[in-house]
Amino acid sequence: MADAPSNRRNPVRTFELLWNLREHSGLGRRAGLSVEQITAAAIEVADADGMDGLSMRSVADRLGVGTMSLYRHVSGKEELLDLMIDRVSAEVRYGEECHGDWRSRLEQVARFNRAMFERHPWLLRIFPGRPPQGPGVIGKYDAELRTIEGIGLTDVEMDSILALVLGYVRDATANLLAWTTMPERTGQSDDEWWATLAPLLDRVLDRERYHVAVRVGTSATEHYKGVHDPEHAFEFGLQRVLDGIESFVLSGGEGEFPRRGGEVAGR
């Protein structure tokens, strides 16, 4: 018998699905359809149409089945999102590609995560949140922690540094994607936007009163050869984050400090 459709997560049921315990036990099975197929189809829908286009119906349509048949395997969209997060987390594989000293390895972690968000921008709508405790999420967390293992940090410091880097990447990638898609979303390029506003601004701007903004803004625009350079902003910010971490590591750290407990893998 199928579970009733629900928009609320049942953490025990979701855990069983994440670790492939539920289907092996014979619960909720239906020939020709699996949790893996449903999850893969949902990721395809979200990649193509974003979170606004993701629904149980749109996933069913992609699979060519009735919507209710999905509920034999997944209780609802919220549970499906957990499965999707775990699946795309498992895509991030470091292996031999993550090499060099600890700073180089941590920088590669940042770039791998940026690539993940660019492949699946719908993830940016979900985080931060309670992470699903599945093999994909935990495996990714473990691999990322190993890049800074043995450099003199406490366990709590390792967790905090990883959270800092991934938090920066998440926010910076969201800003980068928002900026690079702005011409398409607004129907106006940066040059067109500035050409429209510049004459109006010249009429009202007190250049002496706002002389610092005028000077810096002009210099930045000339340097970027445009209004803004999102790639420069990402790279500049990433290197400053790594500089700060390097200074912390070289200083020997500051010992453990309180944190909110109860999370095994949250990054």
pLDDT of residue 256: 47
φ/ψ region of 221 (left if φ > 0, alpha if ψ in -120 to 50, else beta) reads: alpha
Q: What is the pLDDT of residue 260?
A: 39
What pLDDT band is residue 25 in, cutting at 50, 70 and 90? very low
Q: How confident is the model at residue 106 (pLDDT cuts 50, 70, 90)?
A: very high
**Local confidence band at 171 (pLDDT 50, 70, 90 cut-offs):** very high
Hey, what are 38's tokens?
Answer: 């449903």
Cα angle 79-84-85, degrees, rounded to a multiple of 5: 100
Query: 């997060």: which residue's tokens?
Result: 85
| Residue reference for tokens 């407990």 | 261
pLDDT band at 27 (very low <50, low <70, confident <90, very high): very low
The pLDDT of residue 31 is 52
User: Per-residue pLDDT averaged across 84-108, rounded?
Assistant: 90
Q: What is the mean pLDDT of residues 17-28?
A: 66
In terms of Cβ atoms closer than 10 Å to its own Cβ (0-12, 13-18, 19+), residue 137 is buried
Domains annotated on the chain, with CATH: 11-88 (1.10.10.60), 97-267 (1.10.357.10)
Give the residue, 267 or 52, on which the prediction is more confident: 52
To the nearest whole number, what is the mean pLDDT of the chain? 88
Has residue 263 got a pLDDT over 90? no
> Which DSSP state fits 40?
H
- Averaged pLDDT for residues 161-173: 97
Query: Would you give the DSSP letter of residue 4?
Result: P
pLDDT above 90: residue 132: yes
Question: How many Å separate Cα 263 from the centre of its chain?
Answer: 18
Q: How far apart are CA 44 and CA 41, in angstroms?
A: 5
**230-250 pLDDT, tens digit each:** 999 999 999 999 999 999 999
Cβ burial of 251 (10 Å; 0-12, 13-18, 19+) is exposed
Confidence of residue 95 (pLDDT cuts 50, 70, 90): confident
- 């999370």: which residue's tokens? 263
Q: For residue 177, what pLDDT is reported?
A: 95
**What is the arithmetic mean of pLDDT over 205-222?**
94
Q: What is the mean pLDDT of residues 64-87?
A: 96
- Least confident segment among 4-8, 180-184, 228-232, 250-254: 4-8
Q: What are 190-202's pLDDT values in tens digits?
A: 989 989 999 999 9
* Structure tokens given for 203: 């009429």
Percent of the chain scoring above 90 in pLDDT: 76
Residue-level pLDDT at 21: 87
CB contact at 8 A, 85 and 14: no
Q: What pLDDT is recorded for position 257?
A: 43
- pLDDT score of 264 more than 50: no
pLDDT over 70, % of the chain? 87
